[in-house]
Amino acid sequence: MRFSIARLSSAFVLAGVALAQTPAGFVPEVKDRLEIIFGPKVVDSPGASLAKADTAKQPTLGTRDAPLNGTSYLWMMIGFKPTAQLAANGIYTLTAPASAAPVPYTGPAPPAENPPHAHRYVSLLYETAADFAVTRAQVGQTFGFDLAVFVGKVGLGAPVRAGYFNVTG
């Protein structure tokens, strides 16, 4: 499967509010919003709550405030346990322009908990060269994924867009 920017719609042009699009304490902090749309469900604000069923299929991504000016992008979604620390629980997808998706999309599926806790899922969009490719070996383990190590290993810069939502088991 090749990464398709066709899913990355930048047809929206509306003024946006400059709020952090990543959870408090998350590194890197990203100010520019990535629109995340699961069928009829839109992540309308950072940290919006969605049901597991709503997030089962890969979302459509886009922008509202300005078109994306790059030509190629890497998109990843990582999940976090419901703790005060922001240690990644796992990577749920990673797609890059010049390679098969090293981590195909898997919808969030937090376990049922008593009491229930919201699990956070952060989507990050990185601009890349058109020939940028990532192998499955470069990703490493998906459970316990280390974002900083991965970014350094493959030479990514700062993400250009982000968004996050919560799903409760």
The pLDDT tens digits for 53-91 are 999 999 999 999 988 888 799 999 999 876 655 555 688
DSSP strand pairing (48-50 vs 41-42)? unpaired
Q: How far apart are CA 26 and CA 19, in angstroms?
A: 13
Residue 136's nearest CA partner among 103, 160, 167 is 103
This prediction's pTM = 0.85
For 117-140, how does the pLDDT look when each residue is reduced to its tens digit (9 = 90+)?
889 999 999 999 989 999 999 998
How many independent structural domains does the chain possess? 1
Task: Report the chain's mean pLDDT, rounded to a whole number.
Answer: 84
Residue found under tokens 């400059």: 18
For 2-58, how does the pLDDT look when each residue is reduced to its tens digit (9 = 90+)?
333 434 443 333 333 447 899 988 889 999 999 999 999 999 999 999 999 999 999
Give residue 21's domain range: 5-168
Residue 145's nearest CA partner among 86, 70, 99 is 86
> How confident is the model at residue 7, as a pLDDT?
43
> How confident is the model at residue 166, as a pLDDT?
95
CATH of the domain at 131: 3.90.280.10
Q: How far apart are CA 166 and CA 97, in angstroms?
A: 27
Q: Is 129 left (phi over 0), alpha (psi -120 to 50) or beta?
A: beta
Structure tokens at 35: 């629109």
SS3 96: coil
